């Protein structure tokens, strides 16, 4: 009994203590919320603490000599911050800001998938319209049968857009509020309304603080393209992160208002270029209009990326493309080439795989890519397309050195063997004509393999194709890098293809014995990119070493200037070619630019000896594509060049583009008289 009584006393003591503590807490809450509530509320309302990210500058992009291709400058950006829960006030500020931008012709984001004016209709960017519309309605738990007008009304209620707004203003406001929602707008996450805003607009906003009460203006680094349109297809562009990218990158310190590389070098080297944002924690006294910085963490800039590109050579390649494409189009005979309108040129260090220039025409201004996108996708010539990496073309007669090496190495012909050409080649009841036969009914006479390359004799190479067969030809072609990725870091590269039974079967066709003849002169199903063609010629000219193509030379820290990464040459294939066979092919390519060769008119007065090969490839409509490949100097090759001009008509017609590139590389852009060559040997 005594034991039970003692236990009961202990429970009573615990109950008393517990009741005392509860009463103490209640008393404190009463004091804070009732007696002194107004005082604390006033203190709370008078101050607002907000963490504002300080954007880190992206790393600079430089050419091989350290010259800036992309750098940064400071610009003004505008953000909308959520200060309180007054939705009507927020809506009015957002609309006022939109109308201010409209008044000066500036754009802002509105990706709401309904048209901007009545009668409303759904607008989705891809072909799968119905599926996207269904997914959109499902996301917001709408009936799948709702019309666009009904969806508009649903979102007006969602964002508490008053009925008093005219329809056009309500739709404008709705679009921005929708965009804010996609960017996770909240009291902790401001919405970036616009970047790089003109100072006059900033001044108007600051002068009308009441009208733009929840608008914040701040400075941040803005990408600066230092050379206009130069290297646009290499450099690429940055854009605001989308939902899919954010889901993948949110654990790597990316926010919904961040910009990241979308294409080109900006995308390929994002991991190096992105810096680490800093933070300013600002406490603002609302009534007095004062603010105090209570915490700050400095941003860490991204690393500088040095490319293998030579800025001067890149400019020369782009200018040569533009100049000579216009020349071909305006001076063509019998309209052959009058439709020339686009092309590409690639320059490669053939002893390392470094890309020295990568030009595509027509081009665009990368600083305005996002603003001009809708016009660019409709423009003639598709200026967005990086033709050097994404354009695929039949190589035409520039493929003949591959066939020559395959035939020589497999023992089907020797360097000294001659063949009596007849102009028209008959095989299994079909006729295959040489170009000279088509134009004049003639032939190239009795020639060896080097002379066949000089004359670009189809008849000779039809015979080589028949003797060798498609498998050996494709073996050497692939070893030289044709029909496979070069390894360049940009994601835009496409693979191309080598003609053969497998490709034909995949296309639902049948491979016939005569197809090997067409493939041997670079036609049939052969499709390659200009960068592949340049890499192939580099491999032939350097004696059989196929390097991985690359644009990255080095990465340097902007904090301590330490080299983070340095790229060394990487061999993909090593092709064993007998010296006498290689000499025969290189001799033939040297004859192309010498007297009597198909490019002799272009290089007759050139101060150094080069090797090359002209080519043309018929297309379904319009003039043939013109292709030229070359290397220089002939005796000690350093660089390889590949040029493709769509509807350029002939390889000889586009060869001056390569000549201008060689001139820039070996002599620079200075006065021609400074070059130690006789006056009559100067470049025309």
* Terminal Cα-to-Cα distance of the chain (whole angstroms): 123
> Is residue 297 domain-resident?
no
pLDDT over 70 at 34, yes or no:
no
Task: Report the C-alpha gap between 599 and 589 in whole angstroms.
Answer: 10
Average pLDDT of the residues in 515-540: 97
Residues 489, 631 within the same domain: yes
The answer to whether 498 touches 476, Cβ cutoff 8 Å, is no
What domain count does the chain have?
A: 2
Q: Which of 258, 267, 193, 195 is nearest to 224 (CA)?
A: 195
User: Stretch 457-471: mean pLDDT, rounded?
Assistant: 98
**Tokens in use for 72?**
């940064």
The percentage of the chain sitting over the pLDDT mark of 70, rounded to a whole number, equals: 88
Q: Is the pLDDT of residue 33 over 80?
A: no
Q: Is residue 117 part of a domain?
A: no
Angstrom distance (rounded) from CA 348 to CA 547: 10
With respect to residue 583, please indicate whether it lies within any of the assigned structural domains. yes
The answer as to whether 76 is a domain residue is: no
Instruction: Please check whether residue 264 lies inside any domain of the structure.
Output: no
Q: Is residue 446 helix, strand or coil?
A: strand
Would you call 527 helix, strand, or coil by DSSP?
strand
In this prediction, residue 680 carries a pLDDT of 27
**pLDDT given for residue 684 in this prediction:** 27
In a domain, 281, yes or no: no
Model pLDDT, residue 310: 98
What pLDDT is attached to residue 129?
A: 79
Please, which pLDDT band fits residue 188 given cuts at 50, 70 and 90? confident
Q: Which of 182, 205, 226 marks a domain boundary?
A: 182
Alpha-carbon torsion angle 33, 36, 39, 41, nearest 10? 0
Identify the domain boundary among 137, 164, 182.
182
Q: Is the per-residue pLDDT at 284 higher than 60?
A: no
Cβ neighbours, 10 Å, residue 197: 18
* Rounded mean pLDDT, 86-93: 94
pLDDT single digits (tens) 570-584: 999 999 999 999 999
Residue 513: what pLDDT? 93
User: Looking at residue 43, what is its pLDDT?
Assistant: 46
Q: Which two tokens stand for residue 530?
A: 């200009």
Looking at the DSSP bridge assignments, the partners of residue 268 are none
Tell me, yes or no, whether 490 lies in a domain.
Answer: yes
Q: What is the 3-state secondary structure (H, E, C) of 580-628?
A: HHHHHHHHHHHHHHCCCCCCHHHHCCCCCCCEEEEEEECCCCCCCEEEE
CA distance 353 to 363: 25
What is the domain range of residue 160? 88-111+128-182
Other residues' Cβ atoms within 10 Å of the Cβ of residue 291: 14
Asked if residues 183 and 257 have their Cβ atoms less than 8 Å apart, the reply is yes
Q: Which of 78-82, 387-391, 510-514 has the lowest mean pLDDT?
A: 78-82
Pairing type for strands 61-62 and 304-307 reads parallel
Q: What is the mean pLDDT of residues 363-392?
A: 93
Instruction: Give residue-wise pLDDT tens across range 610-652.
Output: 999 999 999 999 999 999 999 999 999 999 999 999 999 999 9
Write the DSSP string, 246-288. HHHHGGGT--TT-EEEEEHHHHHTHHHH--B-EEEEEEEETTT
643 contact partners, CB below 8 Å, separation of at least 6: 321, 343, 344, 345, 530, 626, 627, 628, 629, 654, 655, 657, 658
CATH number of 620's domain: 3.40.710.10
> How sure is the predictor about 356, in pLDDT bands with cuts at 50, 70 and 90?
very high
Single residue among 148, 163, 182 that ends a domain in this structure: 182
On whether residue 13 sits in a domain, the answer given is no
Per-residue pLDDT at 659 exceeds 90: yes
Angle, CA 218 vertex, CA 215 and CA 223 arms, to 5°:
125
- Shortest CA distance to 147 belongs to which of 133, 162, 135, 167? 133
């Amino acid at each position: 009994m005594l034991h039970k009584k003692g236990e009961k006393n202990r429970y009573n003591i615990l109950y008393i203590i517990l009741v005392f503590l509860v009463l103490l807490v209640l008393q404190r809450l009463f004091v804070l919320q009732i007696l002194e509530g107004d005082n604390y509320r006033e203190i709370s309302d008078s101050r607002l603490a907000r963490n504002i990210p300080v954007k880190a500058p992206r790393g600079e992009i430089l050419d091989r000599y350290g010259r800036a291709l992309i750098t940064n400058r400071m610009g003004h950006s505008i953000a909308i911050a959520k200060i309180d829960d007054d939705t009507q006030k927020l809506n009015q500020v957002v609309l006022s800001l939109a109308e201010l931008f409209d008044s000066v012709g500036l754009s802002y984001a509105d990706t709401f998938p309904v048209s901007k004016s009545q009668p409303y209709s759904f607008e989705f960017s891809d072909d799968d319209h119905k599926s996207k519309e269904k997914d959109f309605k499902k996301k917001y738990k709408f009936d799948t049968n709702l019309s666009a007008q009904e969806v508009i009304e649903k979102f007006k209620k969602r964002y508490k857009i008053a009925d008093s707004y005219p329809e056009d203003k309500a739709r404008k406001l709705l679009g921005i509020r929708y965009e804010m929602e996609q960017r996770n707008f909240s009291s902790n996450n401001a919405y970036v309304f616009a970047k790089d805003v003109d100072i006059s607009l900033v001044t108007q906003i600051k002068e009308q603080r009441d009208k733009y009460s929840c608008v914040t203006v701040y400075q941040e680094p803005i990408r600066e393209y230092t050379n206009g349109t130069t290297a646009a297809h290499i450099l690429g562009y940055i854009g605001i992160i989308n939902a899919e990218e954010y889901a993948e990158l949110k654990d790597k310190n990316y926010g919904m208002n961040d910009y990241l590389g979308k294409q080109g070098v900006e995308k390929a080297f994002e991991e190096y270029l992105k810096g680490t944002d800093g933070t300013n924690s600002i406490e603002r006294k609302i009534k007095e209009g004062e603010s105090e910085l209570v915490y700050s963490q400095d941003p860490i800039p991204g690393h500088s990326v040095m490319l293998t590109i030579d800025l001067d050579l890149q400019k020369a390649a782009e200018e040569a493309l533009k100049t000579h494409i216009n020349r071909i189009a305006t001076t063509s005979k019998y309209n052959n080439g009058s439709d020339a309108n686009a092309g590409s040129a690639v320059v490669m260090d053939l002893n390392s795989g470094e890309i020295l220039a990568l030009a595509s025409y027509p081009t665009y201004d990368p600083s305005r890519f996002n603003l001009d996108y809708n016009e660019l996708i409709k423009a003639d010539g598709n200026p967005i397309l990086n033709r050097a990496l994404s354009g695929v073309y039949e190589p035409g007669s520039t493929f003949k050195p591959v066939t020559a090496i395959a035939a020589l190495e497999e023992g089907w012909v020797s360097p000294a063997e001659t063949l009596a050409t007849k102009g028209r080649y008959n095989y299994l009841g079909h006729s295959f004509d040489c170009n000279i036969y088509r134009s004049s009914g003639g032939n190239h006479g009795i020639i060896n393999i080097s002379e066949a390359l000089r004359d670009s004799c189809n008849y000779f190479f039809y015979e080589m194709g028949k003797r060798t067969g498609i498998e050996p030809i494709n073996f050497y072609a692939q070893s030289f890098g044709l029909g496979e990725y070069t390894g360049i870091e940009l994601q835009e590269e496409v693979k191309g293809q080598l003609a053969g039974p497998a490709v034909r079967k995949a296309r639902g066709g049948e491979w016939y014995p005569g197809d090997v003849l067409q493939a041997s002169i670079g036609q049939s199903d052969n499709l390659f990119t200009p960068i592949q063609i340049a890499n192939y010629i580099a491999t032939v000219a350097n004696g059989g070493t196929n390097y991985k193509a690359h644009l990255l030379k080095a990465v340097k820290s902007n904090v301590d200037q330490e080299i983070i990464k340095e790229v060394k040459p990487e061999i993909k294939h090593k092709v064993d070619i007998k010296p006498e066979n290689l000499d025969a092919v290189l001799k033939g390519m040297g004859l192309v630019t010498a007297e009597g060769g198909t490019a002799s008119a272009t290089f007759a007065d050139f101060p150094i000896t080069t090797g090359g090969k002209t080519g043309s490839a018929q297309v379904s409509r319009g003039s043939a594509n013109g292709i030229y490949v070359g290397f220089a100097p002939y005796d000690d090759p350093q660089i390889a060049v590949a040029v493709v001009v769509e509807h350029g008509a002939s390889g000889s017609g586009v060869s001056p583009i390569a000549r201008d590139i060689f001139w820039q590389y070996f002599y620079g852009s200075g006065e021609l008289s400074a070059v130690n060559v006789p006056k009559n040997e100067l470049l025309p």
